[in-house]
Every structure is written in structure tokens, then in C-alpha cells.
Structure 1
Amino acid sequence: MPLTADTPTWYHLACREPAPALPALTADLETRVAVVGGGLAGLATALSLAERGIACTLLEAGEPGGGASGRNGGMVSAGFTRGSLDLARKLGLERARALHDASRLGMALIRARVERHAIACDLVEGVAVASWFDEPAALREEVGRLNRDFAMRLSFLPREAFRELYRSPRYFDGILDPEGFHLDPLALSRGYARAAAGLGTRIFANSPVHGLERSADGKWRLVTPEGSVVAEEVVLCTSAYGDALLPALRRAILPVATFVMVTEPLGERLAGAIRAPFAVYDDRFATGYYRPLPGGRLLWGGRISLRERQPDLAGLLKRDLARVYPQLGGVEVAAAWPGRMGFARHKMPLVRRLQPGLWVNSCHGGHGLNGTSTGGELIARAIQGEAASLQPFAPFAPQPVFGPLGRIAAQAVYWGHAARDAWRSRSQVAP
């Protein structure tokens, strides 16, 4: 079967959180706030609004979590795709800390909501970073700066200790983040939908929004194939999937493809290679990442491409796995799929007011699980009257990514960084 954006993922096959039965919009209605997009950004926004008693209607083109929200690696850690140390150099330490604290807000919201709403998403504590490079002094310094400047609780793991947990000849030292965690992202999406609906949010699936109009009275009208919604406020939460509705916003979203597979149960082979329950990613530019799943399976992902469709995707990812863990060469693959992430040119989310009554919570590629919840909470606060809540994200406005030329440039950047990483590690073989 060819792999497309609609290919079922392992999450769809194994998700323990049932899919909510949701109608399509078939009539005209009015609401205080309309949310466009039923991924985690839209669902988190709707849930934050519902928790404040603000009437909300959500319109989703397919089913909740059907895009990037239900297809990703499932890792949750503080920060953004653009690193906190880089943000400190650009914005100053105080403003970088405000952003870092905002990302932690999203993590706290996820934990609280999973517990409060009994979301069956198999949450497991701990995220580890595996160093691809023999540079322990630099890694120790990075850990120290993040702990000192951003109040993190990272632990540096020297290679002897790290290799006791991860039996790879490719790795050197590592970092353990005890505040990070991993989970089933499709289950989280469905759980958010169930929770928001339980608090009064009207959610309509299979209701793509084809038009956005502003009337003379300042209200917004959203047009779908079978009905329309008139709202005082609109929050746009589409990203790489779907139509951004505003030309300026559409031009600011760069879709980037990445890839994931899930193995068949590996039994003792997995236990012999990976001896910790944490999610893991490495420190290359185009990071590889993985996490153990219930039942002895392994989720493995990585790579960046302009093209979602890849010939023999499972074989490609199996070779990547065998490069890191030779003892896991030749594993059987249960499912492999592509995913599409949305990025802004500055590698930060778009969380802001675009026009009076029009907001955006988008472009969380790379850190979408915590970022979407952060963005939804801050926009809900702003709609409630706390305008200063969005101040940390003020420097990051939509910027044009120049369409196909931007995608070609992104691919060239990836190849350049991949070549640089290969050069750095060319003579480094872990003991």
C-alpha cells in the first residue's frame, strides 16, 4: 500500500482511547469563539476555553488528531525547536526564560488533563538525549547552563553509564531529563476532544472550512460545505495539514515531512539493546528518535524530506535502526508512515492575535505536544482579557517562507547540516 498522509499509523491501530463519534456541521449557527482545526492545537485551545466557561465551536476537516497530532513520536519536553540557549542569545535571558516557562506550562497542562480526564495515553516518565559526538566537555557545559539559567533538572550521563542503558556503538555520552515524558499522541488528541465536548464544546468533524469572512458588525463567518458558523472570535489552528484560510498565514507555514515506523514485538532483543523506559532522541540536526511501546515494540523515527512518499520507507528506517543498534538489524515492521510538520521560518510557534478577533495557534513542528497546549492556554487567557499572556511570543510574527523555494531551501539546509554532522563524527567510534 502506498504511504500517504492518510495511511493509518500504529497509533490508529492500537489506540486505547476510543475515537469520539462526532457529527458534521449541517446547519448555520452562532458561537462566542470558533476554532478551526481539530489537531492538538485546536483541541487544546477549545479545552482551555471550555475550562473558563467560554462557549466554543470547533470545526475539523477530518477526524480529531488525524494529522500531525496523531502521527508524531509522542515525546514531551520543555522548550521549542529553536533551543533555549539560542533564544537567550537572540532575546536576552529574561525573555528566553519567559518562553521556557511557557513551554513548561504546556507540560503541566498535559499531565493534569491526562489525570483529570482519565485519558488512556500510556504516559511514561523520562526523556534522554543521546550524544552522536565525542564532545563530553561541551555537553557538560550545556547541561550546566540549562540547569542554571532555566531551572531544569538535567543529569549528565557519562558514556559508561549511558551505554549501560543504551547498548549502541554509535553513542557517546547522554543527558537525562526527568521532567520529560512520552505518550500516545492520538490518544491524547481523542482524550482532549472527549474532555472539551464534556465541558460543552461543540465539535464538528468532516467539516472543512473553505471561507473566512468578516461582516460589517465585526463578527466572523466561517463557511463549510453544509453550513456556516458566525463567531465573535476565531482561532486558526491548522498547520501543515489543511488550508490556513489567510494568504499571509498560508505563506508563513513550511511543511516538512518526517517518518516513523513501529516494529513487531521484539522480546529479549529489545531488552538486550535498550534497558530504560525513556524516550530518546540524538543531538544531530535531523535527529533520530525512538521510544519503547507496550508489548515490547519499538517506535523509531527521523529524517527530513520535501517528499512524504518514500520508496520502501520501512526498509529505509530499518537501516537507520540497524546503524544505531546492529543487534536489532532485520526486525519485522508492523507499520511505517510519513508525517507532515508545520514550521515557521524562525522555528518558533505562531501564537498571537492577527487582527481584532482573529488569533492563531500554529507551527509547533518539533515540539507540538507541549507547545500546542501552551498556545491554547495563553490564547484562552487573552480572549478572557489577559492580553499580556501572549507577550513572550510577540517577537515571532508570521514570515513568508517563499513556497516551493522555501521547501527547497529547507531541504538544502538539512543536507548541509547532515553533511556537517557526518564530518564531525567521521572519526568518532564509541568505545
Structure 2
Amino acid sequence: MTDADLQTTWYETERVGREPRPRLSFDLDVDVCVVGGGLAGLTTAREVARRGWSVALLEADRIGGAASGRNTGLVVPGFSEEIDAIIERIGLDHAKQLWALSQDGVEYVRRTIAETGMAGVGPSAGWLRVWKTDNPRDVRTQAERLRWLGTEVETWDRTRVRQAVGSAHYFDAMHFPAAFHINPLNYTLGLAQAAEDAGVRIFEETPAVALDPAGVRKRVRTPSGTVRAAHVVLAGNVQLGALMPRLGATLVPVTTYVMVTAPLGPVLGEVMRYRGAVSDGARSANHFRVVGGDRLLWSSRITTRPLNPRRFARTLARSAQAIFPQLGKIEIAHLWSGTLGRAVHRMPQIGETSRGIWVASAFGGQGLNTTAIAGELIARGIVENDQTWRLFAPYELVWAGGRLGRIIVQAVNAGSAPARLAAESFARYRERARVRREAHAAQIKAAGPPPPETKAMTADGPPPSGERRKGGRRRQAQKAE
């Protein structure tokens, strides 16, 4: 693994086109100015332009250079927050509406790929959410709840799981056949092209350095020009803090780390017969899938400040080896990180904060479907005065606690690890004990039926043990008399 491998993701090796776009070097008047060239910004810009309005999009770096082009590529329904917590906070009916939107986001991505004929995106079907503890009742309960919400989900027992994913660490699972995974970089680049085809003007290497929200025409200043627009959409990530401190203060920056192995050969196909994506928990759990035929893409570990990915190379390799010891020593070919923003309530922040100022942020580790939701809802809100975005109103801008908030988030993730590992270790111990019991029972069964019960011996021999004890007690009583 060279230093160059730390600068490029695996997705760069499969990249389909990336023509440079100009910097903004003049003043510009448009209906809508979108700040941020990630998935949320591109979707918003495209959907506004498709409705006939003029749009300029400002990207501080290159399209696809940040989290949108560096994530694991998993497109699934739901949010970073667990559905139970959502229901508890806003009630069943409201939660069901939000969940339906999350599924709409999945279908938006699927439909956009098909309609535009994006190359190199390669959607592959299926997501398997496996349990590392032996709790089939919990799996069934969660699956039933998701079916009630309208999600297509299957339950797999441990036998089926281990046939698909050859690890003794895994027990039962929920399978989502309608979920899929993609090359997120090529999807981001394809979405940018689709936005331009709709009429969006995209400017790269054009950071927004100041925002004047006053008046009917807001002003977004860049180093070499100013954009005036009736609506401004702030669709950036944690980098938006300087432009809108109130928004930046609501985000906890979370950095995730991803590796792709060198080719593993036929053994990977024997271990990973399943060709969808696999997750073995939430938050800082392992997320993995096969890429390039015989390579393993593996994501794990989070930090609240960006660190050199090399620090986690051995950690990532060991976590994969612990799950799949059959793979032997793992050589890393690509290793990278990506930083995203997460709100304390773990839900997206979508909507109009003041007249003509919109935000789309805090997608927090599950952004492919939720950025699609944000773009569609904000476009409808701007052009059609649609109010569906207000379904996210309970999840408003909440201060994230600054440096202390980051420490707390890191501590929560680190602190939960010992208990989680203990539970997983105990589950594997119980599994080994069950296997030993079954093996013992099989040996007894194979030995044939037990011999017939032996009758008590006659007077010519000693009495049964119980009678000996009774006789002994009688003799002791006689001596005592």
C-alpha cells in the first residue's frame, strides 16, 4: 500500500469520466443558488432545474471529492436513528410517513440510475443485516415492525446466514431484497451530469465565503464573484460552519474508515457466497461487500476528528480477519476515510430556516436515500410551495455541544464496545456449548439403545443400595437402644 493509495479510493479505479468544471469568475443572477456539490446539493439543483427554474451550484472542491463519493455505497430505507427512537419521539403515524419518504429516497436513486443510463454505477441487489448475538426473537420483532412500515424484509435463520456468509460470528438476520449498493463516486458524477443536462450551472473550486440573507435577493460571495438568488440552499457538510455558524454548530463531524483488500482469490467466493452488502450492527459496526470480483470492501471504526487512515489499517484488517479467519493474512490495497456531519438527534436537517434560506444537512452515515429525499422535498418546497418537508420539523437545528459534544459521541461509541463484545462472545460460547451437546447426543444415539434395566439381586447377593442404607439405619438404631 503506497501513499498514493491513501489519496484515492477504490472507486477512483472504476471512475467513469470527470471533466473539470470552471470556477465562478463573475457575478451571476439566478433563481436558486445551491452551496455544496454533494448528493444533496446535486439532487436539489437537478430537481429545481427540471421544474424550469435557473440554478447555480457552487462546490468548494471537486464534485465527488467529499463524503458523497467516498462512502460505502449502500442504498437502504431508514435513517441513522433507530426506528424505535423515531416512533417514541414523534408517534407511529408520523414515523410511518417519514419511513415512507426514506423508501422514496431509495427508489429515487434506483430510478435516476435507470433513467439516465449512468455508467459504472453497477447497482447490485440485496442487504443483509446480521446479528452477532443469538436472538431470533429480536430479529422477528424488528422485521415485523418494518413490514408494518411497508418495507420488504425477510428473516433468515442462522443456517441460511452461515451458508451465505461463512462466519461463526453471525446468527440470524434480516434480508432486504429491494436494497442495493452502488459505486457512489460514479453515481455522484452521473448525478452532476444529469443536473447539467437539466440546465444547472456547476462551478467547481468555488467556495462560498460569505452569505447575506437579507432582502428578496440573497447574496452568496465567492473569491471571484457573487451569486444573487431568491433562494439559497445550504447543502454542504461540516464545512458550512464558517458560512452559517448556527448550522455548523448543530453538526458533530464523524469520520469513517474504509479499506479494500488486495485480490483474495477463490477463497473469498467460498466465504462470501452472498453478493449483496452486509452489516453486522449500527453505528461503528462492520459493513462489507465484495468488489472487483475477489476483493473485500470493509468499513469499520469511527472518530469525531479526522485521523490518518494508516492508524486504522491494522484495526480494519484484524476486524475482517476476526470475522473471516479463513481468509488468512489480509493485504490492504486501498485505504481511505470520509467525514460526514451528524446531528445529535441522528436525523437529517431538511427545510427552510428563514425566508429563502434552506438547509439540507446531517445525513450522518445513511445519506444515499436521505439526500435524495432532501433534494426532492426542497425543490418542491421552493417551486411548488409544497410543505411535505415540514415532516422533518421535529428534528430542528440543535446545538451539538461543541468540542464536548464530540468527546461524548466518541465516548459513547467506545464505551458501548466492551458490553457489545462481551455479549457477542457469550453468544458464541453458547453456540459452541450447543454444538457440543448436540454432538454428545448424536454419539449416544449412534451407540444404540441402552441395555435393559438390571433387576435387584436376590438373597444370594447384596441388596440394592437403598435397602443397604435402610438396613444400616436399623442396625444403628438397635445399637442405640
- TM tier, smaller: over 0.9
Per the alignment, residue 461 of structure 2 pairs with none
User: Residue 86 of structure 1: CA displacement?
Assistant: 2.1
Q: Which moved more, 1:200-209 or 1:242-251?
A: 242-251
Q: Does 2:54 correspond to 1:55? A: yes
Superposed CA offset, 1:381-426 (max 9, x none): 0001333221210101011112111110101111122122123223
Assess, with a 3 A threshold, how the Cα gap between structure 1 residues 325 and 275 changes in structure 2: closer, same or farther: same
| Identical positions, percent | 36
Q: Does 2:428 correspond to 1:400? A: no
User: Residue 244 of structure 1: CA displacement?
Assistant: 5.4
Q: Does 2:127 correspond to 1:127? A: yes
| C-alpha distance in 2 between matches for 1:212 and 1:284 | 36
Unaligned runs of 5+ residues in structure 1 are none
Higher relative contact order (CA 8 A, sep 6+): 1
User: Residue 61 of structure 1: CA displacement?
Assistant: 0.3
| Bigger helix share | 2
Unaligned runs of 5+ residues in structure 2 are 433-481
Q: What's the TM-score once normalised by structure 2's chain length? A: 0.86
Superposed CA offset, 1:268-294 (max 9, x none): 021011001110101254221011113
Secondary structure at the counterpart of residue 423 of structure 1? helix
Give the aligned residue type for 2:289.
Answer: R
User: Residue 47 of structure 1: CA displacement?
Assistant: 1.2
Q: Does 2:338 correspond to 1:314? A: no
Give the aligned residue type for 1:14.
Answer: E
Per the alignment, residue 7 of structure 1 pairs with 7
Give the aligned residue type for 1:197.
Answer: E
Q: Which moved more, 1:103-112 or 1:203-212?
A: 103-112
Per the alignment, residue 143 of structure 2 pairs with 143
| C-alpha distance in 2 between matches for 1:88 and 1:422 | 28
Residue pair 2:349, 2:362 contacting (<8 A) in 1 also: yes
User: Residue 165 of structure 1: CA displacement?
Assistant: 0.2
| C-alpha distance in 2 between matches for 1:5 and 1:365 | 25
Residue pair 1:140, 1:156 contacting (<8 A) in 2 also: yes
Per the alignment, residue 272 of structure 1 pairs with 270
Give the aligned residue type for 1:223.
Answer: R
Residue pair 1:4, 1:337 contacting (<8 A) in 2 also: no
How many residue pairs match? The answer is 428
Secondary structure at the counterpart of residue 7 of structure 2? coil
| C-alpha distance in 1 between matches for 2:221 and 2:4 | 27
1:8-407 to structure 2, matched below 5 A, reads 8-15=8-15, 17-120=16-119, 121-148=121-148, 150-215=149-214, 217-243=215-241, 245-310=243-308, 311-407=310-406
Assess, with a 3 A threshold, how the Cα gap between structure 1 residues 142 and 287 changes in structure 2: closer, same or farther: same
Question: Which structure has the larger Rg?
Answer: 2
Residue pair 2:109, 2:372 contacting (<8 A) in 1 also: yes
Q: What's the TM-score once normalised by structure 1's chain length? A: 0.96
Assess, with a 3 A threshold, how the Cα gap between structure 1 residues 9 and 285 changes in structure 2: closer, same or farther: closer
User: Residue 4 of structure 1: CA displacement?
Assistant: 11
Secondary structure at the counterpart of residue 428 of structure 1? helix
Give the aligned residue type for 1:209.
Answer: A
| C-alpha distance in 1 between matches for 2:409 and 2:253 | 10
Residue pair 2:100, 2:150 contacting (<8 A) in 1 also: no
User: Residue 158 of structure 1: CA displacement?
Assistant: 0.3
| C-alpha distance in 1 between matches for 2:97 and 2:242 | 28
User: Residue 5 of structure 1: CA displacement?
Assistant: 13
Residue pair 2:241, 2:249 contacting (<8 A) in 1 also: no
Give the aligned residue type for 2:385.
Answer: E
| C-alpha distance in 1 between matches for 2:239 and 2:298 | 22
User: Residue 338 of structure 1: CA displacement?
Assistant: 1.3
Superposed CA offset, 1:187-238 (max 9, x none): 11000000001111000000001000134x4211111111110111000011
Assess, with a 3 A threshold, how the Cα gap between structure 1 residues 20 and 49 changes in structure 2: closer, same or farther: farther
Residue pair 1:34, 1:231 contacting (<8 A) in 2 also: yes
Alpha-carbon RMSD? 1.8
Superposed CA offset, 1:355-402 (max 9, x none): 100000111012100100110000000001333221210101011112
Q: Which moved more, 1:302-311 or 1:38-47?
A: 302-311
User: Residue 85 of structure 1: CA displacement?
Assistant: 2.6
Give the aligned residue type for 1:77.
Answer: V
| C-alpha distance in 1 between matches for 2:5 and 2:410 | 19
Moved over 3 A (4+): 1-6, 241-244
Residue pair 1:5, 1:339 contacting (<8 A) in 2 also: no
